Amino acid sequence: MRYQIPPLTALHAFEAAARLLSFSAAAAELNLSQAAISHRVRMLEQHLGFQLFERLPRSLRLTDMGKAYLPSVRKAFNELSSSTANLFGPVGERSLTIRAPVSYAILWLAPRLQSFLQSYPDIDIRICSALWADGLTPEETDVDIRLGHGQWPGYDARLIRNEAAIPLCSPRYYAGNLPDSAEALAECPLVLTVGFEDLWSRFFQSAGVEISRSNSTVHVDTSLAALELAVTGPRCAMVLNSFAAPFIESGRLVVPVKTEIPVELSHYLLLSDSEVRRKPEARIFEDWLLEEAKRSMPG
């Protein structure tokens, strides 16, 4: 289809001059000379075969044809500008909205995010944890990180890393008497995390230890809470080793028994089946995230 469209530079000059009713003001806005604006408007009038402005001594006035033409031109530029901003982001502004589980966002992503920001200081980051993420529509989320089995309808799930869990306890509360065997851990108060309730039973089963719980057990809904409970009291937690790393490095927690329990759930990047709306910044972040996850893998 052949479109009957005048030169866009001429239309741009016309729209600015018509909105401001001044060639000089339009020139200042478009960073052009007044002569250039006047020339482009004149070229448009010659192309259309109609005069669009009345040139007055100190101002401009739209002709009837100019008044009739302006709404269509303005609508076309508005729609083009809106579509460009929605797809590629506002010019001069680069931002990402990242949706992630709260423990992942705080314990794994946040400590590493500075390296990304140093490489891309012009990208503004907004992280929404699971506490708020349900209020986001897919259009409002640029990067979606979820914990699961890798199957979400309408999405291509890309594995970030496989996970394993380790037992943890505080050296402060078990000083000199760490529960350094499965039998000893079976006598300790435990913390169970929603979604990972089977980890302790699998740990004891792998060690051939049968337990009948007599000590109190605390149930929490985030790994972050499980770690804090282990730090602040004589309780043992079973947490993903990627989350536990900063607590171990700081000495707040130790691994009393060197055993890892494979975890069926993993963290994934969810990519929409439609690639059209993905920002270039999202692709940059996803590549960085996968490389960072690979680099942080033990061994």
Reduce the DSSP state of residue 168 to 3 states and report it. strand
Containing 102, the helix (H) or strand (E) segment is helix 102-103
Q: Is the pLDDT reported for residue 289 higher than 50?
A: yes
Residue 72 lies in a domain: yes
Q: How does DSSP assign 234-261, residue by residue?
A: S-EEEEEHHHHHHHHHTTS-B-SS---E
Mean pLDDT of 107-123: 89
CATH of residue 44: 1.10.10.10
Residue 24 lies in a domain: yes
pLDDT tens digits for range 22-59 = 999 899 888 889 999 999 999 999 999 999 999 988 88
Mean pLDDT of 165-183: 88
Q: Is the pLDDT reported for residue 136 higher than 70?
A: no
Same-domain status, 254 and 186? yes
Q: How does DSSP assign 200-240, residue by residue?
A: HHHHHHHTT------S-EEEESSHHHHHHHHHHSS-EEEEE
Residue 206 lies in a domain: yes
Residue 214 lies in a domain: yes
Average pLDDT, the chain: 86
Q: Is the pLDDT reported for residue 118 higher than 50?
A: yes
pLDDT tens digits for range 207-251 = 898 876 666 789 999 999 999 999 998 899 999 999 999 999 999
Amino acid sitting at position 267: H
Residue 223 lies in a domain: yes
CA 85 distance to own-chain centroid: 18
pLDDT value of residue 278: 67
Full residue range of the structural domain in which residue 102 is found: 94-159+265-295
Residue 1 lies in a domain: no
CATH of residue 256: 3.40.190.10
Residue 132: which pLDDT band, with cuts at 50, 70 and 90? very low
Count how many residues are written for the chain.
299
Number of compact structural domains in the chain: 3
Residue 2 lies in a domain: no
Same-domain status, 126 and 270? yes
Q: Is the pLDDT reported for residue 271 higher than 90?
A: no
Q: Is the pLDDT reported for residue 116 higher than 80?
A: yes
- The residues, ordered by sequence, that sit 6+ positions from 160 with a Cβ below 8 Å of its Cβ are 145, 266, 267, 268, 269, 289, 290, 293
Token digits for 146? 């979820």
Same-domain status, 139 and 277? yes
Same-domain status, 134 and 45? no
Same-domain status, 181 and 256? yes
Question: Do residues 168 and 237 lie in contact, with contact meaning Cβ atoms separated by under 8 Å?
Answer: yes
Q: Is the pLDDT reported for residue 170 higher than 90?
A: yes
Same-domain status, 248 and 169? yes
pLDDT tens digits for range 55-110 = 988 889 999 999 999 999 988 888 887 777 666 655 556 788 899 999 999 999 99
pLDDT value of residue 133: 45
Same-domain status, 254 and 181? yes
A 10 A CB-CB count for 273 gives 8
Closest CA to 133 of 125, 124, 143, 120: 143
